[in-house]
Structure 1
Amino acid sequence: MRRSSWILTGSAVVLVAASAVTRFTVYPAVHQVPDGTKTTFRFEGTATLLNSKALGAGDLTKAFMTDLPVTLDRRVEVRDTNGRTAVVADGVVLSGRDGTKLNSSESIWAVDRRDLTERPAPAGSGAAKHEGLVISWPLEPERRDYRFWDTGIQKAVPARYDKTETVSGREAYVYVVKADGTLTDPATAKALPPALPRQVVAGLAAALPADRRPDAAVLAALPETVPLTYTSTTERRAWVDADTGLSLDGALHQTVLARTQGENGPVTLFPVTDVDVRGAEASVEKQADEAATTARLLWLMSTGGPLGLLVLGLMLAFLAVRSARRRTADGGGR
């Protein structure tokens, strides 16, 4: 076999092997949550909150900030990775439209780098226990139901596939999550009083709009010190990119209510928080652009690159065979 045939054959083998390596080694390594990832998504909407300054001053007539325009920034940062596990910081900051911080929280999770479900928490990571999805959706989402962790009630609830829509030119699967129950989030529950004087409860109730106040007779029948429990209700709607699993848009309505036990059953007294927000247009556009870029890269690594290398390798193999046959034919004719 001529030297050129050997070169063509060797090059063909290398290209075919590179095609396989790209598809089955490089692509899986790329197609997972990368170390050091930082994303921030902004929501906009309104909130009804207890006015801590007014409460501190004893002015119950201004106890609530009602329908306050707010922004909610959710920042997700991958702090460490180990194999299939990513340790992720999930921070939320609620602010007034003037930038005044109203509330904030941060949770640490250990998640699978591909399907985003729970993983065993690495030692010393501080990751909280959870089940199902918690920060985002699988990198290859499907038209089916999932389980989603609700921090308010500390339980996994169904995330139901609802329909498919288009968001900023991207195909998106729409999922709906609803959670309702006793507030068990340790950080939030710890900050709330277990009881209040009846006079304070009546004052808080009087500061509410008339259609939201508990019945006056029910309030009058409460004990001098009113024991309190709290409920958490969360409704989420997520628009998830069908190709990459990136969240393109979202809506969140989260309510924490103070309740007590009346003579005839549970009585809702007043809201602690009531936040109703939807993805800001700029964040939605940014996520759509990121999804388009990511989808092109994934196609190149999973299909375009391996297929191109394979075709080129086969072409070189064909040329090597044809060159060898010509050499054989030339030799046979001497």
Structure 2
Amino acid sequence: MRGKLGPILVGLGAFLLVAALLLKVFAYPQLAVAPIDQESVTELTGPGATVFDTGTLSEITTDLTTTANTVGDIEASQEQGDNVRVWVNTSSTRSDDGVVRSRSIERVAFDAHTGEAVDCCGTYAETVEGQPEEVTFEGLVFKFPFGTQKESYDFWDSTLLRAVPIAYVDTEDVEGVETYRFEHVIEPTVTGTMEAPASILGEEAEGNLEAERTYSNTRTLWVEPRTGVILKRAEAQLNTLRYDGEDRVTLTEVTTGYTDETVKANAEEYGSLGNMLHLVNVVLPLVLGVLGLVAIIGGALLLRRRQEPAHA
């Protein structure tokens, strides 16, 4: 039996090394992909928001609730192969009186591993019901890459219709899960113009005047780095009507973010998934690799001793 132990250990070690390699190069890439059949509902709240009420032509204070429903287009994703996902996000924001204050639909294609937008599959954005507009998305839209790093990424802004760099700031605990906190500040930017009654702009003229729409935002994202999923989100937005270089009307001023229930559910689901990915990508390959090397070295030593001539 001792004579056979050396070859057995060498064979076992080789097997363990191959298993470690397969986990890294085969199993992990198969697991670290965005789901093709995504189906999720996310809620955000913005208490004490200021909005411009078109019914009364005045600014009012209200609580805003945003519901975002994200669904994967399985057929479109399958047509693109294993590395592309197509998701459709439908979002609506209501005030506490039940009035829908805004709505939007975004159809986005992105790399299933990196989260980077891909130019294909009839992507569009719709902010006016029944009037979709073709959009070429860029940067990250729904999620960060698997294995998110402590660096800056380009993150899509649905108002500017372009990606804006968002930087790693700190590492923070969210519901017991380690996350990377990313932030960026979008300074007041003119996004378009609109006709508005002179009276609401503070002018004595009759009829309508052309005013500029401005938008600014401070966005903070808490990302579970192993999965790239955004566990928590907060945005401080300000939209105004500007005339003659001055902000005359507040269209929306709100600090909104994921509800506590949404954050907790995200942490439970993706914290566990992140741990599993870490196990497959780091822990098991390391353990199996070390055991494999030890077994090969031990087996080689036994074979060497067996082959050494006996001394008188």
Smaller-chain TM-score bracket: 0.7 to 0.9
Is 2:62 the partner of 1:68? yes
Alpha-carbon distance in structure 2 between the residues aligned to 1:284 and 1:118: 25
Alpha-carbon distance in structure 2 between the residues aligned to 1:73 and 1:66: 21
Q: Deviations over 1:165-222 (max 9, x none)?
A: 32223333222223332325xxxx8xxxx434x4xx42xx3xxxxxxxx54xxx11x3
The answer for the alignment partner of 1:131 in structure 2 is 138
Task: Report if the CA contact (8 A) 1:153-1:182 is conserved.
Answer: no
Q: TM-score, normalised by structure 1?
A: 0.73
For residue 142 of structure 1, give the secondary structure of its aligned residue in structure 2.
Answer: coil
For residue 143 of structure 2, give the secondary structure of its aligned residue in structure 1.
Answer: coil
The answer for the alignment partner of 1:156 in structure 2 is 163
Q: Percent identity?
A: 22
Supply the AA of the counterpart residue of 1:48: T
Supply the AA of the counterpart residue of 1:183: T
Deviation at 1:94, TM superposition (A): 1.4
The answer for the alignment partner of 2:72 in structure 1 is 78
Is 2:218 the partner of 1:235? yes
Q: TM-score, normalised by structure 2?
A: 0.77
Supply the AA of the counterpart residue of 1:289: E
Give the alignment partner of residue 184 of structure 2, picking from 177, 180, 183. Answer: 177
Alpha-carbon distance in structure 1 between the residues aligned to 2:208 and 2:265: 51
Matched ranges for 1:115-126 at <5 A: 115-122=114-121, 124=122
Task: Report if the CA contact (8 A) 2:7-2:303 is conserved.
Answer: no
Is 2:17 the partner of 1:25? no
Q: Deviations over 1:133-184 (max 9, x none)?
A: 2223232223322222222122332313333332223333222223332325
> Counting helix residues as a fraction of each chain, which structure ranks higher?
1
- Pick closer, same or farther for the CA change 1:161–1:9 going to 2, 3 Å: closer
Supply the AA of the counterpart residue of 1:77: V
Q: Deviations over 1:37-76 (max 9, x none)?
A: 3333322123333445xx3xxxx3xx34622112222333
- Pick closer, same or farther for the CA change 1:259–1:98 going to 2, 3 Å: closer
Matched ranges for 1:1-334 at <5 A: 10-46=11-47, 47-52=49-54, 55=55, 60=56, 63-64=57-58, 66-79=60-73, 80=77, 82-97=81-96, 101-122=100-121, 124=122, 128-179=135-186, 180-183=188-191, 194-196=194-196, 198=197, 201-202=198-199, 205=200, 215=202, 219-220=203-204, 222-260=205-243, 265-314=244-293, 317=296
For residue 183 of structure 1, give the secondary structure of its aligned residue in structure 2.
Answer: strand
Deviation at 1:314, TM superposition (A): 4.5
Unpaired runs of 5+ residues, structure 1, are 206-213
> Counting strand residues as a fraction of each chain, which structure ranks higher?
2
For residue 282 of structure 2, give the secondary structure of its aligned residue in structure 1.
Answer: helix
Q: RMSD of aligned C-alpha atoms?
A: 3.4
Task: Report if the CA contact (8 A) 2:59-2:251 is conserved.
Answer: no
Greater gyration radius: 1
Task: Report if the CA contact (8 A) 1:121-1:128 is conserved.
Answer: no
Count of aligned pairs:
294
Unpaired runs of 5+ residues, structure 2, are 125-133
The answer for the alignment partner of 1:209 in structure 2 is none
Deviation at 1:296, TM superposition (A): 1.4
Alpha-carbon distance in structure 1 between the residues aligned to 2:168 and 2:16: 42
The answer for the alignment partner of 1:210 in structure 2 is none
Deviation at 1:277, TM superposition (A): 1.0
Alpha-carbon distance in structure 2 between the residues aligned to 1:174 and 1:182: 28
Alpha-carbon distance in structure 2 between the residues aligned to 1:161 and 1:308: 31
Deviation at 1:12, TM superposition (A): 4.1
Deviation at 1:299, TM superposition (A): 1.6
Task: Report if the CA contact (8 A) 1:141-1:245 is conserved.
Answer: yes
Alpha-carbon distance in structure 2 between the residues aligned to 1:178 and 1:235: 4
- Pick closer, same or farther for the CA change 1:285–1:69 going to 2, 3 Å: same
